[in-house]
Amino acid sequence: MDIHNEYVQAEMFEEAVGRNIHKADSKIVEHPKVEDFNYVYRADKLIENAEDKIDFLLEPVLPRHCVAMLAGPSDSNKSTFLRQFGLAIVSGYDEFVDFKLYSKYRSVIYISTEDDEIITGVFLKKQAAGLLPENIRNLRFIFESNDLVRRLDECLEQQKADVAIIDPFSNCFKGDINNLISVRSFIEPLQQLSRKHQCVILLLHHLNKSNEALIPNKRALSGSHSLTDVPRVVLDFRKDKFDKSKRHLSIIKGNYVADNFKSSTYVLQFDEATMTLSNTGERVDFGNLQSNIGYSLGEQRKVYAEIDKLYKQGESIRDISIIINKPGYGKTKIAEYLKTKHNDGEQQIAD
C-alpha cells in the first residue's frame, strides 16, 4: 500500500476516526455529580423530553410557541383575518383556511389598540354569526397597550391561551422602530412570555408604503431588519391588485417551514357580507404579484411563463427583455423576478 498517496491517506484517516467514534460510543464516561444552574439544559434530557416532530398550532405555519408576525398594507383586512383566526381557535375548529389547526386551550388573547370595543363588537357580530356565545367566550380582548408584558403575563397566568395577538405591534412599541437594539429589547420579553406560557405571540405590522408594489419579501416591512430577524415566522398579507375580493397570504420567513410552502402565495376569497376569508386552493408565484400597470394577473402569468421558458433555453436577461418587448418588463424587472424565483439570487443569472 502506498501510504504517501493522498487518497490512501484519506481512507486511513476515516477508518481511524470511525474506530475512535465507536470506542467513544462504547464507553460510559463518569462525570462528577453537580447541581445545574436553572438556565442550563443537558443534551440527554432534551432528547429524553423531546417529541418526535415539531408541535404546531397551525401546521405547517405556526409552531406551538414562538413570536410570529403578520404584515401587510393598510386596508387589506389583516385584523379581520386575525379575528377569524381567533374565532376558529376558541370554537375548536380543526382547520383554518385549509391549514390544520391544533388548539390546545381553545383560548385567545387579542390586544386591539386601533379598533375599540364598540367597533370590534360590530365586526364580531358579523364574523361570529352562527357561533354559540359560550363557544367564543374564551376570545378575550384588551383595548389598552400600557404595561403590555405584565398584563399579558397576568392574563396567561389566569388562563392559558394558544395565541396572544398584538394589533398593531407599532402602537405598543415606544422606541425607535428603525433601531435594532430598541426593537430587540421590545421583542425579547415577548419571546420569554411565549416560552413560559407555551403560546404563540403574533404581531400585526405594516409594510412600507414604498414597498407595497414589490413581491413579498422581508425587506418590505417598515422598521429595523430585526423585525424579521427575531420572529421565527413572518407572513405577508395583501389584496390582489386586480380582484379586490382576493387576498394573498405568503410565508416569507418560516424557520420550520419547508421551501415548497414559501415559494408562492395562498389565494384567499374575502366575503364582505360575513367578513370572513376562505382558501380558494389557488397559489400564485411571488413574481406575479408585482405591480404592472395595464396587465391583468392572467396576462402577467403568461409573461412570466415566457420569461421562465426563455431563461431555461439559456437566453440572457437582455435578450429576454428584447424578445418579451413589453412595457414594464425591462432588464431590471426580469432580473429581480429571476433572482427571486431561482433561490433568491443564489443561482448565477446572466446579463
What pLDDT digit, counting tens, does each position of 159-206 carry? 999 999 999 888 888 878 778 888 888 889 999 999 999 999 999 988
Average the pLDDT over 317-338 and give the result: 81
195-219 average pLDDT score: 81
Find where cell 395583501 sits. Answer: 238
Q: What is the pLDDT of residue 270?
A: 96
Give me the pLDDT at residue 292, please.
47
341 three-class SS: helix
Mean pLDDT of 68-74: 91
Instruction: Give the other-Cβ count within 10 Å of 76's Cβ.
Output: 20
Measured from the Cβ of residue 151, the count of other Cβ atoms closer than 10 Å reads 15
Asked if residue 28 has pLDDT above 70, the reply is no
**Band of the pLDDT at 323, cuts 50, 70, 90?**
confident
Highest-confidence range of 79-88, 260-269, 303-312, by mean pLDDT?
Answer: 79-88
Per-residue pLDDT band for 347 (boundaries 50, 70, 90) equals very low
Mean pLDDT across 213-232: 70
**Average confidence (pLDDT) over 246-259:** 88
**Nearest Cα to 205, choosing from 64, 74, 57?**
74
Q: Which of 7-16, 265-274, 326-335 is predicted most confidently?
A: 265-274
Return the pLDDT at 215.
73
| pLDDT score for 212 | 65
The third-level CATH classification (topology) of the domain covering 56-289 is Rossmann fold (3.40.50)
Q: Residue holding cell 405591480?
A: 291
So where are the chain's domains? 56-289, 297-345
- Per-residue pLDDT at 174: 81
Closest CA to 244 of 127, 75, 34, 9: 75
